[in-house]
Amino acid sequence: MLAALRVPRHGKVFSLALPRYTGMPLFSSHPPFQVTMYRTPSGLRGDGVEPWGPHNEVNLQYMAENVSGTAHSGAHVDALAHMTIGEDDHWYGGGNAGEHLGDRGPSVGDGSKLPPFIRRGVLLDVPGYLGVEALRSHQPVDADQLQAVATHQGVTIRRGDVVLIRTGYLGAWPDAEKMALHTTAGPDISAARWLLDQRVVATGSDTETYEVQPAPDPGSPANPQPVHTLLLIENGIYLFEGIYLEELASDEVYEFLFVALPLKIKGTTGSMLDPVAIV
């Protein structure tokens, strides 16, 4: 962390999240993200509510809302309990569904246990290296490509880094039709092994699935998400998804201080984020 804090030289901050809103694009299996008003000035008057009593000659009112949706809405990080495997539905850290999952979520490895991320960040801009705006749908990124991009950009991955991989998917945000041309590109299992060898603490991308889908090599027995399995379930490497990387890539910023502070909510399987890159 102390080494990461020495990275910034200019004091420029890049936001790595896009606004969340009702009806926003999401991974199809997730519940919709919604913002609904719970209290409004007209609603308070209509309900006959006087929150400050009768002595309110200036018509002071307030507004409050309900926000509903999965923790995996927009820019977010997967908690260790997000993915399970095996007959016992276990996850990294010793949790399993039979013993550690209740009606209020997992008690082991849930979102409240997520650490703050204050680390050296590295962007690997794959479409920038290939000379295209964005990778095509379902295009895999392998280990050799990641190494080639790092070499081309002049960056070295260090132990404890957060490595963010750009596919260009969010360059079309929020045009769902254009985004559909670039869905679920991302790292394959060889890239995951490469990242593991670099001893990163976390890795992420601008897509909703991080890894390429469908998996080019599901292995035997077949595993539809071998990258999540290797990194998150087997090794406790945190995964970020929905990270906005277009401005970093446009400015050719490949090394930065990465800051992301998860919300400590018990029972969640991840956390929405508003991460930043500081150079």
The mean per-residue pLDDT over the stretch 2-11 comes to 97
The mean of the pLDDT values for the chain is: 97
pLDDT of 214 = 97
pLDDT single digits (tens) 243-254: 999 999 999 999
Predicted TM-score of the model (pTM) = 0.95
The C-alpha atoms of residue 279 and residue 65 are separated, in whole angstroms, by 35
The C-alpha atoms of residue 33 and residue 132 are separated, in whole angstroms, by 31
Token duo for residue 189: 């299992």
Q: 45 by DSSP, 3-state: which?
A: helix
The mean per-residue pLDDT over the stretch 67-94 comes to 97
Domains of the chain as residue ranges with CATH: 2-19+72-278 (3.50.30.50), 34-68 (no CATH)
The C-alpha atoms of residue 214 and residue 138 are separated, in whole angstroms, by 7
Token duo for residue 68: 């509903």
The C-alpha atoms of residue 94 and residue 102 are separated, in whole angstroms, by 16
Token duo for residue 235: 């090794």
pLDDT of 29 = 87
Q: 97 by DSSP, 3-state: which?
A: helix
Check whether 28 has a pLDDT greater than 90. Answer: no
The C-alpha atoms of residue 242 and residue 240 are separated, in whole angstroms, by 7
Helix, strand and coil content of the chain, in percent to the nearest 5, comes to 25, 25, 50
Please list, in sequence order, all residues whose beta carbon lies within 8 angstroms of the beta carbon of residue 144, skipping any fewer than 6 positions away: 190
- What letter represents residue 21's amino acid? Y
Q: 277 by DSSP, 3-state: which?
A: strand
Q: How many CB atoms lie within 10 A of CB 98?
A: 10
pLDDT of 39 = 96
The mean per-residue pLDDT over the stretch 246-272 comes to 98
Beta strand 117-125 pairing with 255-260: antiparallel
Check whether 163 has a pLDDT greater than 90. Answer: yes
Rounded to 5 degrees, φ, ψ at 140 are -80, 150
Check whether 60 has a pLDDT greater than 90. Answer: yes
Please list, in sequence order, all residues whose beta carbon lies within 8 angstroms of the beta carbon of residue 44, skipping any fewer than 6 positions away: 50, 51, 61, 62
- In percent, the amount of the chain with pLDDT more than 90 equals 97
Degrees (nearest 5) of the Cα angle 44, 48, 52? Answer: 70
The C-alpha atoms of residue 167 and residue 252 are separated, in whole angstroms, by 15
pLDDT single digits (tens) 187-226: 999 999 999 999 999 999 999 999 999 999 999 999 999 9
pLDDT category at 238 given cuts 50, 70, 90 is very high
